[in-house]
């Protein structure tokens, strides 16, 4: 019935569940959920998804309960993406699954952690590829989640350089930017790194003078610009303003010493952990020791560190490198 509903009511440009390119390993279909619904559920129930609640989005160790984490960012991307998919009569379940899985491979300490692992690993490190690797090779003790091609393709190609093969994936690719630009502005204002008046008027005059107004402008523009077309796009003025705002954030927030005061420490911490486990792979957990045997120590160590939460990375560093006090 779900598949029949999709065929009858979704846009001719939508990705239908019945037309999926399938999974890496064949399996019996569910009698209640479509394949994309099952993928969404598998992602929500996996360990990597839960760990995102303790992974940095922008601000390391913020003093306050209301700053975004990697998990709350993911949920905001999912909400915005679903809104756009529903308005365009595209496959909301596929869109949601891609959005919920797009950052599963992100490192502890945000992009600082990603940059450090990229420097340390001989093959480099990219969180999009790692997110795909997480669902294909790491989750469920090496078995993977066995997701459909469309979801895996959307996860891999969610960054600016990517080119998803479905419109649902293209929605997530744009909505990821819409989400993080706006919620990072909100967090930066909360952290007193920015004031609303600091944002250039050439952007606010078009997009709006509040976070909610800018979100509303960008989301509506994406929907109206994409309606009735086999492509997902934004109007040129709004897209250029959004990318200008993104460049402004890189200049004033993402590279701002006030937002990044702890980054050097975080990078040194990850470098120390990486070196230690390269020299002592026997101390990796069992599933990563198995990966080391089949894919090499460096790959397993990279996987292990990338999967850590901020808190766990700090705990392991203290356990390995800080002397223990004598107990009375």
148 three-state secondary structure: strand
pLDDT of 326: 55
Pull the structure tokens for residue 261.
Answer: 């005061």
**71 CB-near residues (< 8 Å, 6+ apart):** 49, 52, 53, 55
Residues 77, 169 contacting (CB under 8 angstroms): no
d(CA 193, CA 190): 8
**110 CB-near residues (< 8 Å, 6+ apart):** 55, 56, 57, 58, 60, 70
pLDDT of 260: 66
| Closest alpha carbon to 94 in 42, 45, 166 | 166
Pull the structure tokens for residue 36.
Answer: 């994309």
| Closest alpha carbon to 54 in 110, 134, 131 | 110
CB-based burial of residue 111 (10 Å sphere; 0-12 exposed, 13-18 middle, 19+ buried)?
Answer: middle
Instruction: Return the bridge partners of 148, or none.
Output: 23
d(CA 257, CA 271): 21
pLDDT of 66: 83
Cα dihedral 229→231→237→241 (10° resolution): 140
Residues 34, 2 contacting (CB under 8 angstroms): yes
pLDDT of 228: 95
Residues 52, 184 contacting (CB under 8 angstroms): no
d(CA 261, CA 283): 31
> Along the chain (328 residues), what's the average pLDDT of each consecutive run of 10 residues?
96 98 96 97 98 90 79 98 98 98 96 95 97 97 96 96 96 98 94 93 96 97 98 98 96 76 89 98 95 96 97 95 70
CB-based burial of residue 177 (10 Å sphere; 0-12 exposed, 13-18 middle, 19+ buried)?
Answer: buried
């Amino acid at each position: 019935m779900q598949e029949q509903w999709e065929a009858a009511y979704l846009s001719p440009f939508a990705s239908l569940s019945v037309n999926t390119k399938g999974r890496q390993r064949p399996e019996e279909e569910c009698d209640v959920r479509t394949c994309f619904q099952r993928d969404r559920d598998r992602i929500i129930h996996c360990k990597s998804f839960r760990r995102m609640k303790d992974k940095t989005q922008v601000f390391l160790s913020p003093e306050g309960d209301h700053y975004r984490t990697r998990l709350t960012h993911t949920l905001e991307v999912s909400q915005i993406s679903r809104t756009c998919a529903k308005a365009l009569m595209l496959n909301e379940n596929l869109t949601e699954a891609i959005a919920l899985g797009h950052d599963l491979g992100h490192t502890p300490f945000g992009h600082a952690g990603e940059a450090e692992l990229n420097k340390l690993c001989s093959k480099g490190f990219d969180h999009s590829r790692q997110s795909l690797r997480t669902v294909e090779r790491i989750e469920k003790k090496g078995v993977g989640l066995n997701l459909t091609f469309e979801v895996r393709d959307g996860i891999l190609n969610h960054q600016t350089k990517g080119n998803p093969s479905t419109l649902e994936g293209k929605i997530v690719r744009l909505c990821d930017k819409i989400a993080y630009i706006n919620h990072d502005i909100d967090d930066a204002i909360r952290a007193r790194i920015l004031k609303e008046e600091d944002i250039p008027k050439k952007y606010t005059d078009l997009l709006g003078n509040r976070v909610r107004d800018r979100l509303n402008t960008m989301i509506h523009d994406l929907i109206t610009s994409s309606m009735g077309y086999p492509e997902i796009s934004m109007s040129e003025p709004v897209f250029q303003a959004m990318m200008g705002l993104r460049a402004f954030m890189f200049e004033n927030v993402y590279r701002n010493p006030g937002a990044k005061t702890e980054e050097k420490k975080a990078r040194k911490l990850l470098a120390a952990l990486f070196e230690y486990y390269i020299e002592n792979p026997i101390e990796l957990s069992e599933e990563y020791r198995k990966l080391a045997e089949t894919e090499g120590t460096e790959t397993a160590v990279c996987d292990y560190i990338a999967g850590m939460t901020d808190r766990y990375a700090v705990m392991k560093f203290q356990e390995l490198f800080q002397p223990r006090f004598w107990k009375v």
